[in-house]
Amino acid sequence: MPPLYVADLAKNVLAEYGSSCGVLLAANWLDDKYREVVTKAKFKHLREVGNFLIPGQYNTGNATFTENSNIVNFAGGTVLSSAMVDRYIRVSIQWYRITDVVSTTQCLIDPPFGESASAPAFAAAAFTIVTRYIDLPPDRRWLGTFLHMRLRKSFTLKSLDELDAIDAERYSVDSNGPLVGAEVGLSPQTGGKRIELYPYCSNDEVIGYVFWKLPNKLQLGDVIPAVIDGFALKEGALVSLCRWEAGQALRAGKADIGGNWNNMAKTHDTKWMGRVLPQMIGSSNGDDDATVIWQSARFLNTQPNRGDYDVTNAQDYIWNKPL
């Protein structure tokens, strides 16, 4: 079957009623309906696999904290960098966000240090700096299975309440982390999803994940994705076309004609919302092969030179046995 281009489908929309609204406007209506469909379900053509690096903890040297102060001074070989801004530092109990790196031996934290001791300052104390949150690109709409690449262990995100129930204090920094996570909001810089993965990493770790991206705007020269029924999109675009024609008629003082166009818009909208849209959403099977494979993480056992991974149960023992 030859590809269906947006421009051709837009012309088909116009030809339905001989409208003169123009191809560009019809293409915008098709794009609106396309987005309405693909943002309600996990379609395969929008599913991708990504990865990111989580920097390991930094704990070289020592730090001096002063109660009620947001200034932390370092010594003993510590070398801070601007990359540590927005990471978190802990000396005793609480995590503090690093808001600025003033120099290689001084940073600012938020909130001000609020832990008291027998002395008014934690002087030359051991500390740890970790990456608590990962900001994903803003086009990630849904997140699927995550995979700890080194350990070949998969996990899915939990709710923030569940993560709090697992460890509200978030005290652990582990060489086997992370193995659980949660969405914690949006990045104030990009508007993309922000996630917290736990336990925090003591070493640099690469994490893979399945995601469904937001669709790009359909342009006239684009091909309608094969998994989308283009002529079903036409039904949705006809709703907008009829409403546009109704507006044109009403502005021209032709209330009767405008009423007829509104009635046709309602007819198309009933068909779109009641039958076409649910069928298109129901036909989506995006949450299948990649997600299922990564959830098991056993596909890696077939790879040459894969090495062993931690055996934690009887199933791991069986899968880890040499062939």
- Tell me the per-residue pLDDT of 166-184, one tens digit each, with 9 for 90 and over: 899 999 999 888 999 999 9
Q: Which two tokens stand for residue 114?
A: 């609020």
Nearest to 86 by CA among 112, 109, 113: 109
Give mean pLDDT, residues 79-106: 95
Q: Residue 90 and residue 63: Cα distance in Å, rounded?
A: 10
Q: What percent of the chain has pLDDT over 70?
A: 86
Give mean pLDDT, residues 226-239: 91
Cα separation values, 27 from 41, 59, 98, Å: 22, 56, 47
First to last CA, the chain: 45
Give the SS3 label for residue 198.
strand
Q: Kindly give the residue spans of alpha helices, DSSP state H, lying in the chain.
A: 6-17, 23-38, 160-166, 230-251, 255-271, 277-282, 289-296, 314-320
Query: 317 or 76: which carries more pLDDT confidence?
Result: 76
Q: Which two tokens stand for residue 266?
A: 């309602």
Domain ranges of the chain: 6-39+216-282, 51-56+132-214, 62-130
Give the SS3 label for residue 219.
coil
Are the beta carbons of 191 and 138 closer than 8 angstroms?
A: yes
Nearest to 88 by CA among 196, 168, 189: 196
The pLDDT assigned to 227 comes to: 86
Q: Residue 105 and residue 8: Cα distance in Å, rounded?
A: 63
Give the SS3 label for residue 46.
helix
Give 185's strand partners. 194
Helix 230-251 vs helix 6-17: angle between axes, to the nearest 10 degrees?
Answer: 50
Give mean pLDDT, residues 21-29: 95
> 149-163 burial, b if ≥16 CB within 10 A, otherwise e?
eebbbbbebbeeeeb
Quick one: which H or E segment has residue 203? Answer: none
Q: Residue 6 and residue 28: Cα distance in Å, rounded?
A: 10
Q: Which two tokens stand for residue 305?
A: 């030179």
Q: Does the pLDDT at position 306 exceed 50?
A: no
Give mean pLDDT, residues 284-300: 52
Model confidence over 64-82: pLDDT tens digits? Answer: 998 889 999 999 999 999 9
Q: Does the pLDDT at position 256 exceed 80?
A: yes
Q: Which two tokens stand for residue 27?
A: 């293409």
Judge if the upstream peptide bond of residue 322 is cis by omega within 30 degrees of 0: no
